[in-house]
């Protein structure tokens, strides 16, 4: 399978990204990944876009086994797609009877007809059935909006879990921790609205404007939309090196006062509660990687790193290892999914508790979106700080959560959830 490929010089990277995004939105299937020029370790491409499917992987069971076969059939090809949180049911033999009104398929990958890479002052276009020059001309003729600060509409989101219930649940979860059922558990809640119509492209542009994060994504699969402003990487492979970068630890920012803002950063770095939360997940991910990496190669590259994003400072650690030979993305998924930052430890027990205490399926939230290169390298995010929308049933939601430990304060955890939801809520407030 040979793509036609050509490179084009550009002057305004932000303008071309908006033009490419608008162009991509005309297709039923598109994946627009944008790191917003964050100079974080392990980033290589500014923006990566895939549209239209030549081949699709969409199954209802035996997700890992079927994916392994799909990867073999389409080796040396670009693949883009997502993995829902509910794939954990196959990996850990759990189940969920909760509702999911967004209803992304559990797992979906596609071989794109067109791939666009934007890096520095260059756009690379690879396409199967068209000429790159023709596509580039279509893109640069697109008029982009000059003002992205106006909210698209006003929507009143309702909490699936009442605040009093949330606070009581945190106390119940801490009793499980006291009994030794688990060490830490990620507990999430949904905010939703029904019978609403939105322009997903406009909403994503607003979200990216308010909260430009390094693992942002506009993902469209027919009537399903994921508008993502994630700051977190799930897993990346480059040659034989694999890394994971869990986030545990959040504090607000003060953009009007640099001194106070730096004090918040120091407060987060010195927080014994957040360090405890973070190191538990680091240990969990070290254990996960050890199952797929060569003996003795797994190491912690950075512990308690503090990184700043538009609304919050985050504590991020980096764990890496050397991947065993003949290990593909399906194997990695089998041994590391769901990512530890969105579960807690030990995984199977906290997934059972998640089912008991949460009130909706997480679906694509807490899942992952990303890509696999023709060389077999890959990079996948953690789907957080995201708005999901089903255009058929006109249902919209966002979900937020946090890691609960013995030392957690229920009220503070609730306020942290609201802090994480700030950019998403602000878009729909007039």
Q: Is the pLDDT of residue 179 over 60?
A: yes
pLDDT number for residue 218: 98
Please give the mean pLDDT across all residues of the chain.
Answer: 93
Range from 27-41, 87-101, 103-117 carrying the lowest mean pLDDT: 27-41
pTM for this entry: 0.95
Q: Is the pLDDT of residue 147 over 60?
A: no
Range from 103-107, 372-376, 404-408 carrying the lowest mean pLDDT: 404-408
| Partners of 306 in beta bridges | 315
Task: Please say if 416 is a catalytic residue.
Answer: no
Mean pLDDT calculated for residue range 35-55: 84
pLDDT number for residue 37: 80
- For the domain that residue 74 is a member of, what is the CATH number? 3.60.120.10
Q: Is the pLDDT of residue 149 over 80?
A: no
Domain count, the chain: 1
Which entry of 88, 236, 248, 420 is annotated as an active-site residue? 248
pLDDT number for residue 144: 78
pLDDT tens per residue, range 326-336: 999 999 999 99
Structure tokens at 210: 């308010």
Mean pLDDT calculated for residue range 30-49: 84
The enclosing H or E element of 411 equals helix 410-420
Residue 273 near residue 408 (C-beta atoms within 8 A): yes
- What pLDDT band is residue 152 in, cutting at 50, 70 and 90? low
pLDDT number for residue 151: 53
pLDDT tens per residue, range 295-306: 999 999 999 999
Q: For the chain, how many residues are written? A: 430
Give the residue from 253, 49, 39 showing the smallest Cα distance to 139.
49
Q: Is the pLDDT of residue 68 over 60?
A: yes
Alpha-carbon gap, residue 94 to 72, rounded angstroms? 28
Give the structural domain span for 209: 4-427
pLDDT number for residue 150: 56
Structure tokens at 409: 């304060």
Which entry of 86, 232, 413, 416 is annotated as an active-site residue? 232
Mean pLDDT calculated for residue range 268-275: 93
- What pLDDT band is residue 120 in, cutting at 50, 70 and 90? confident
Mean pLDDT calculated for residue range 330-358: 96
Task: Please say if 90 is a catalytic residue.
Answer: no
Give the residue from 106, 105, 109, 104 showing the smallest Cα distance to 72.
109
Residue 366 near residue 338 (C-beta atoms within 8 A): yes
CB atoms within 10 A of CB 361: 23
pLDDT tens per residue, range 14-30: 999 999 999 999 999 99
Q: Is the bond preceding 357 in cis, omega lying within 30 degrees of 0? A: no
Q: Is the pLDDT of residue 423 over 90?
A: no
Give the residue from 140, 144, 121, 135 showing the smallest Cα distance to 11.
121
Share of the chain above pLDDT 70, in %: 97
Report DSSP letters for 107-150, one per residue. EEEEEEEEEEEEETTEEEEEESSS-HHHHHHHHHT----S---S
pLDDT number for residue 40: 65
Q: Is the pLDDT of residue 42 over 90?
A: no
Mean pLDDT calculated for residue range 61-85: 95
| Partners of 380 in beta bridges | 235, 370
């Amino acid at each position: 399978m040979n793509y036609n490929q050509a490179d084009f010089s550009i002057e305004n990277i932000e303008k071309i990204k908006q033009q490419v995004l608008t162009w991509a939105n005309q297709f039923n299937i598109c994946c627009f990944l944008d790191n917003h020029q964050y100079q974080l370790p392990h980033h290589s491409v500014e923006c990566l876009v895939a549209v239209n499917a030549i081949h699709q992987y969409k199954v209802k069971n035996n997700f890992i086994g079927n994916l392994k076969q799909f990867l073999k059939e389409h080796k040396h090809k670009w693949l883009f797609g997502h993995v829902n949180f509910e794939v954990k049911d196959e990996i850990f033999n759990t189940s969920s009877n909760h509702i999911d009104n967004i209803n992304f398929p559990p797992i979906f990958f596609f071989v794109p007809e067109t791939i666009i890479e934007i890096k520095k002052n260059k756009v690379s276009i690879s396409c199967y059935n068209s000429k790159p020059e023709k596509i580039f001309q279509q893109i640069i003729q697109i008029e982009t909006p000059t003002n992205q600060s106006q909210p698209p509409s006003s929507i009143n989101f309702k909490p699936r879990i009442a605040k009093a219930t949330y606070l009581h649940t945190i106390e119940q979860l801490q009793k499980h921790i006291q009994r030794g059922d688990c060490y830490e558990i990620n507990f999430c809640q949904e905010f939703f609205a029904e019978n609403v119509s939105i322009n997903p492209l406009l909403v994503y542009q607003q979200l990216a404007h308010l909260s430009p994060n390094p693992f942002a994504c506009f993902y469209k699969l027919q009537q399903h939309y994921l508008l993502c402003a994630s700051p977190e990487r799930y897993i990346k492979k480059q040659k034989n090196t694999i890394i994971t970068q869990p986030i545990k630890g959040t504090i607000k920012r003060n953009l009007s006062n640099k001194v106070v803002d730096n004090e918040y950063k120091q407060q987060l770095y010195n927080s014994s509660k957040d360090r405890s939360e973070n190191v538990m997940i680091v240990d969990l991910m070290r254990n996960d990687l050890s199952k797929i990496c060569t003996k003795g190669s797994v190491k912690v590259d950075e512990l308690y790193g503090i990184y700043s994003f538009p609304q919050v400072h985050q504590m991020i650690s980096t764990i890496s290892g050397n991947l065993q030979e003949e290990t593909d993305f399906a194997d990695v998924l089998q041994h590391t999914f769901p990512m530890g930052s969105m579960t807690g430890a030990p995984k199977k027990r906290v997934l059972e508790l998640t089912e008991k205490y949460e009130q909706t399926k997480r679906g694509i939230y807490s899942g992952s979106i990303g890509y696999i290169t023709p060389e077999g390298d890959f990079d996948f995010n953690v789907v957080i700080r995201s708005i999901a929308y089903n255009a058929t049933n006109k249902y919209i939601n966002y979900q937020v959560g946090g890691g609960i430990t013995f030392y957690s304060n229920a009220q503070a955890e609730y306020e942290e959830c609201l802090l994480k939801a700030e950019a998403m809520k602000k878009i729909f407030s007039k």
